[in-house]
Amino acid sequence: MRMFATIAKLLVMRVLTAIPILFVVSMLLFGILRILPVDPAAMSLPPNATTQEVEAMRSEMGLNRPIYEQFGIWLGKLLEGDIGRSIHFRQDVTSLIGSTLPATIELALLAMMVGTVLGIAGGLFLFYVRGTRAEAVMDFVSILLLSLPEFLWSLFLLLIFGVFFEVLPFTGRLSPGFERPVVTGFLLFDSLITGNIATLLNAMQHMILPSLALGIALSPALMRVLRSSLLDAYQDDYIHQARLRGLSEKRLLVRHGLKNAILPTLSLMGVQFGFLFGGTLLVEIIYSYPGMGNLMVDAIRNADLPIIQGAGLTYCVAVLVISIVVDSLYLILNPKLRVR
């Protein structure tokens, strides 16, 4: 019960902290975008619109008011769930984000799973070969992996598996001829609950290359942090005492070493997942993946300020949620923090 009470207290504190953070972020987004040399009124009208028509549109959109009044009107609509209307797509920003956000969430979660598996396996192997000649080789490999960004991995995997061997699809989410079930907006989940296994498998094939590119780029940092944490844990007295009690190296690693070394790795995973969620942009462009990244690029290309504001706030909310989840997991895995 104490654990649930502590987690509930943490959730309340994080939510209360998130409110001023979201307010400041929304204010910065609104202010920065308003000082750009872009006229939303002119962009929402045809190219041959007259000056009088542009001024009338500016008045209708409230752009001729002081910026603090504009922010107040926009914030009031935001609290009502109205993020605005896209200048380029002529649709509500909420519906546009709602149709692309699930795709990015699915990609980020799958990439995080790939990166976690590779990172933990690589970190354990780095720890296992410590003090041997293989350690220097693996150190070099991990640094090399760490120095390559995700868009280079995207291009490399696309050329090898998509163009040269032609074994995996590399554009879009589904191949032609596959019907997309719409229940929650999450394609993998919707395909699963509707029993559409063919669509599920095809969608997963389309996600292999982008999730691998993101996961491989994520894994080296996890490898090195886990290896360092294990080396630190094995210097503590309880490891030596457990070894004297006759525990095997395998049980020593699982019951003592990994249990304590996983906490710093978990913290890094939370930070990395936050960056990963916002870092899918280039990968989505390379693979023509219809997620938030592609929507954001289209918005920037067309100076679609309502979408940029909405997407920026969405990324901020996602990072805050990830932070809360990681902190909760930290409390569950570390009993010492629950004593406070």
DSSP string over 56-72: HHHHHHTTTS-HHHHHH
Confidence of residue 339 (pLDDT cuts 50, 70, 90): low
- How far apart are the C-alpha atoms of 184 and 267, rounded to whole Å? 30
For residue 162, what are its two tokens?
Answer: 């998509």
Q: Is the pLDDT of residue 9 over 60?
A: yes
Q: Regarding predicted confidence, which is higher, 288 or 7?
A: 288
Per-domain boundaries in the chain? 93-338
Rounded CA separation 254/257 (Å): 6
> Is 137 within 8 Å of 170 (Cβ atoms)?
no
Outline where the chain has alpha helix (H).
2-34, 40-43, 51-61, 67-79, 93-128, 133-147, 150-157, 187-193, 197-233, 237-244, 249-252, 258-278, 281-286, 292-301, 305-333
Give me the count of residues in the chain: 340
- The architecture in CATH of the region 93-338 reads Orthogonal Bundle (1.10)
Instruction: Return the bridge partners of 92, or none.
Output: 85
Q: List, for residues 196-241, the tens digit of each pLDDT value.
A: 999 999 999 999 999 999 999 889 989 888 888 888 877 877 777 7
Tens digit of pLDDT for each residue in 40-55?
Answer: 777 777 777 777 877 8
The tally of CA atoms less than 13 A away on the side-chain side of residue 221 is 21
Q: Where does residue 303 fall: left (phi above 0), alpha (psi -120 to 50 degrees), or beta otherwise?
A: left
CB contact at 8 A, 85 and 91? yes
What's the pTM? 0.86
Percentage of residues of the chain with pLDDT beyond 70: 95
Q: Which amino acid is at 81?
A: G
CB environment 43-52: b (16+ within 10 A), e (fewer): bbbeeeeeee
Residue pLDDT, tens place only, 298-330: 888 887 888 888 988 998 888 888 888 877 777
Measure CA of the first residue to CA of the last residue in the chain; give whole Å. Answer: 14
Instruction: Give the span between the Cα atoms of 279 and 286, in whole angstroms.
Output: 13
What's the pLDDT score for residue 56? 82
- Tokens 């220097």 sit on residue: 136
Encoded amino acid at 23, one letter: F
